[in-house]
Structure 1
Amino acid sequence: MFKRTIHQQDLTIINIYAPNNRAAMFIKQTLLNQKDHNVIILGDFNTLLSSLNRSSKQKLNKETTELNNTINNLDLTDIYRIFHSSMNKYTFFSAAHGSFSKTDHILCHKATLSKYKKVEYYPAFYRIMME
């Protein structure tokens, strides 16, 4: 986690690499512990938030459904999806399953969405631009 002031606005950025086991519960607890509206939570969540995030359709388990409910209740959104809604860019390929998935996410509060003008994904990092 680090805090920066960008264009006279305080911003907290939390980078998460969730564990392989119980990733959804880990992310949910991290979100519930965060009360700042000027926060971006990003990284490898090691869980699919939507069936849109996988090339082969897979049902979401109970923990992921609970995580999605928490994201909705906290009024968060994946800003990468907002800026690139027509594009499904996968970030992981499973040779064992022969499928692509997107486990990397960038969450922010919907109320702060207008502050961001561009979000780009690079294999090693994200670039988020503010006005």
Structure 2
Amino acid sequence: LLKGTIHQQDITIINIYAPNNGAATFIKQILLKFKNQIDHNTIIMGDFNTPLSPLDRSSKQKLNKETIELNITINNLDLTDIYRIYQPASSGSNYHSPFKKHKQ
């Protein structure tokens, strides 16, 4: 959690690196822990290690229960996936490696 000021606006940045296993539950716990500090000037970023929508999945598997519950928490906290706003139909996930850049 990082708090600061940019152009006279207070901002909060929350960077989350979720483990490969249990990522959705981990992220949900972090969001609920910081829910009182999240407002319209909060940026939440990081490596979630979980697809939040079917478009983010590389396979056609359905979202599991934990991911569905995470999405409910995201909606209840009134959070917005900025990538999805600007790329509503883009499928697959993005990641960057120092060796190559890849889009699935």
Structure 1-normalised TM-score? 0.64
1:44 aligned onto 2:47: yes
Which amino acid counterpart does residue 55 of structure 1 have in structure 2?
S
Larger helix percent: 2
Partner of 2:29: 29
- Cα distance between partner residues in 2 of 1:86 and 1:65: 20
**Kept in 1: contact 2:55–2:90 (CA 8 A):** no
CA distance in 1, matches of 2:85, 2:7: 22
Unpaired segments ≥5 residues, structure 2: 96-102
Q: Deviations over 1:46-103 (max 9, x none)?
A: 11111011233221111111101111111111112112324446314xxxxxx93xxx
1:13 is aligned to 2:16 = no
Identity %: 67
Residue 17 (structure 1) shift = 0.8
Matched length: 95
Stretches (4+) displaced over 4 A: none
Structure 1 segment 73-112 matched on structure 2, within 5 A: 73-88=76-91, 90-92=93-95, 100=104
| CA root-mean-square deviation | 2.1
Structure 2 residue identity aligned to 1:6? I
Query: Which structure has greater strand proportion?
Result: 1
Unaligned 5+ runs, structure 1: 93-98, 101-131
Structure 1: distance between partners of 2:58 and 2:92: 10
SS at match of 2:80: strand
Q: 2 CA distance for matches of 1:21 and 1:89?
A: 19
Please give the alpha-carbon distance, in whole angstroms, between the structure 2 residues aligned to 1:58 and 1:23.
17
